[in-house]
Structure 1
Amino acid sequence: MPIVILILEALQKRLLENHPAGVPINEELGRRYAGYRGEQILDYYTKYLPLQKHHFIFHDLRLPISSEAFFQIDTLILTPYYLLVFEGNHMAGKLFFEPKQLIRELNNMEESFPDPIVQVKNQQYFLKLLLKKYSFPFLPSDAFVVITNPKSIILLNPDYKEVLEKVIRPQALRFNFELLEKKYVNSILSHNELEKISEVLLQLHTPDEPDVLAQYGLNKSEIIPGIYCEKCGQFSVNRIKRFWRCHICNKKAEKAFIQALIDYRLLISTTITNREFRQFFGVDSIHVASKMLNSLNLPTRGERRHRKYELSLVYLLSLL
């Protein structure tokens, strides 16, 4: 799941119920969920393409244009013969594809969005530049916008011919893929070159972790500390006789402690000290806090009261 969704979920849970930022956060979370659902649909259909033995499929690649700018690819298929770029779109409503913009009509309201055809062609272009920068052989490429929402209606401007070629439904992926297999028949990359490109792309991939608190003008002091009980919907989990337990419903909640640490990592800091742990988790004893932190086998830096525990998001998620 994209990191930004995890951040928004944590933020939604840890703000006061009537906080002014609550509504826009909920709206953004809804949009992110829809986009993620579209990515899952695209991933499902991509998985069943009749690809040859040597290929790589990448999802949600975020690659550098410069030291400060990035471009993102929803799905990239890398083969010895060609590159294939997919841009997923899960918008609901009527979608009018015009040159330079997409107009969406939903609930009797019209909104304008950047043209996804231009977006996917830009991704295709920047990817070519990146491969050229690393002196890889030139690979032909194609790109498609995949409309993943089954209820959306695609409306065409007859003067915008590219829509017919570039905008497809996920069910048409196999058909278009078979056409490409017939179009690109010359193997350009060796197996080693294919592996090397894959390694470079993974090394360059930089997951997007936006500063959502700054985006909504929030201060870390507004984040509600404590451990959340999913059953009660309250920050009612305490350390009772060596166990984390909700004092309202009495349910044991060992995983809730890990989830709270993940929330801390997403919203507060990538490191935590013994003192910060006690403040956020409501633990009085320095020794108990130290024992709990050490039990997680987290990497540390510094000694004694200056010790900081490094919170790896990937590692913490694996503990759930």
Structure 2
Amino acid sequence: MILLARQTSELQKILEVIVRRLPRTYNEYFNYNEHLRRIKVGFAGEQRVDAEWQELDLPSPHYILHDFQVINHAGSTHQMDTIFLCPHFLLILEIKNITGILSYDASFAQFIRTTADGTVEAMSDPFQQLERHVAWMKRLIQQERLSLPILHAVVLATKNGILTEDFKGQPIFHVTGLRSRMQKWLELHQPSVKKGEDLFRFANLLLTMHTRVKREINVPLRDIVKGVLCTNCVDGQPLRYHYKKWLCPRCGLVDRDALIRTLEDYRLLVGTKLTNKSFCEFFAIDSPNLAYKLLQQLPLKAEGIKRHRKYWILD
């Protein structure tokens, strides 16, 4: 049972809006676009591993939590790509979508990639990350008085990541090896949680502890293209509001979802609070009266009257 499904991150959504609204001539446009590309590649790799679980014959009961995030007692963040929980063990997976020749120096905790063009890149050590997650999970399991082995592994989501001899003895394998690893682990570990309700209780405890951690990013609000934009035209073509419809003067698109979509852009880039003034600025509307009428069409909570009126975007 999937208790926590994987979702597109807020950071990816923010970057998508920034890239869509930034002029391509903006000096940081490439950096934002590259950041977005890397996040999308990583997300695609995670989805590739998620799909593999559907092919496996898993013990019952079992629970899966994807992209589990929690803040520990010291205020630090733990982000675990996948947690698999069954009566035999708890498994934490770190998913990497890395291409190239990979090597590892355990003495220096150094994870290295050599790309096709010979570029050598140092990367964060995923085994150190996993050991940190395992230590946190052990304390929680002991606190809940459960007896459950904790396993961990790095999964490569692409076959184009080539592992060298350095990784012998390390918990790392390609996604196609998940089936055989699971079979070995299930054979090695007999069920240690006898009561199904105990496992369910612990899985739900994890679910209640899950907290989406906001990733800070510099949003170039002054430089983004304002207005309600056409989804067909790629260079920030604004729509016109005419006879209660949003129309594109260039391609003729009639967009019935334009207002809601732009409100989501506002939420991602600015926040959940609006005023008539901030609405006019972001939506590029000249008439305060028209802005007031449009605001009434949106799922907002309103407080105050006249020029002191404020709005909040509903969840």
Q: Distance in 1 between matches of 2:204 and 2:137?
A: 15
Query: In the alignment, is residue 268 of structure 1 matched against residue 270 of structure 2?
Result: yes
Partner of 1:101: 110
Partner of 1:50: 57
Cα offset for 1:290?
Answer: 3.8
The answer on whether the counterparts of 1:87 and 1:120 sit within 8 Å (CA) in structure 2 is yes
User: Which amino acid in 2 is paired with 1:102?
Assistant: F
Query: In the alignment, is residue 75 of structure 1 matched against residue 115 of structure 2?
Result: no
Partner of 1:196: 201
What does 1:296-307 align with in structure 2 at a 5 Å threshold?
A: 296-298=298-300, 300=301, 302-305=303-306, 306-307=308-309
Query: In the alignment, is residue 279 of structure 1 matched against residue 288 of structure 2?
Result: no
User: Which amino acid in 2 is paired with 1:203?
Assistant: T
Q: Distance in 2 between matches of 1:209 and 1:239?
A: 34
Partner of 1:39: 46
Q: Distance in 2 between matches of 1:127 and 1:203?
A: 15
User: Which amino acid in 1 is paired with 2:269?
Assistant: L
Q: Distance in 2 between matches of 1:303 and 1:194?
A: 49
Pairs aligned (count): 303
The answer on whether the counterparts of 1:15 and 1:223 sit within 8 Å (CA) in structure 2 is yes
> CA distance change for structure 1 residues 186 and 288 in 2, over 3 Å: closer, same or farther?
same
What does 1:119-198 align with in structure 2 at a 5 Å threshold?
A: 119-133=129-143, 135-157=144-166, 161-163=168-170, 166-188=171-193, 190-198=195-203
Q: Distance in 2 between matches of 1:85 and 1:35?
A: 17
User: Which amino acid in 1 is paired with 2:38?
Assistant: R
User: Structure 1: which 5+ residue stretches go unaligned?
Assistant: 316-320
Deviations 1:131-187 (A, max 9, x none): 434x24131111111111122211122xx5423xx1111111111111121122224
User: Which amino acid in 2 is paired with 1:139?
Assistant: L
> CA distance change for structure 1 residues 156 and 307 in 2, over 3 Å: closer, same or farther?
farther
The answer on whether the counterparts of 1:238 and 1:282 sit within 8 Å (CA) in structure 2 is no
Q: What's the TM-score once normalised by structure 2's chain length? A: 0.88
Cα offset for 1:189?
Answer: 5.5
Q: Distance in 2 between matches of 1:244 and 1:212?
A: 31
Alignment counterpart, residue 255 of structure 2, candidates 244, 253, 256: 253
* Partner SS, residue 278 of structure 1: helix
Structure with greater proportional helix content: 1
> CA distance change for structure 1 residues 56 and 296 in 2, over 3 Å: closer, same or farther?
farther
Q: Percent identity?
A: 28
Partner of 2:245: 243
Q: Distance in 1 between matches of 2:18 and 2:74?
A: 29
Q: What's the TM-score once normalised by structure 1's chain length? A: 0.87
User: Which amino acid in 1 is paired with 2:224?
Assistant: I
What does 1:79-90 align with in structure 2 at a 5 Å threshold?
A: 79-90=86-97
> CA distance change for structure 1 residues 308 and 57 in 2, over 3 Å: closer, same or farther?
farther
RMSD: 2.1
The answer on whether the counterparts of 1:3 and 1:208 sit within 8 Å (CA) in structure 2 is no
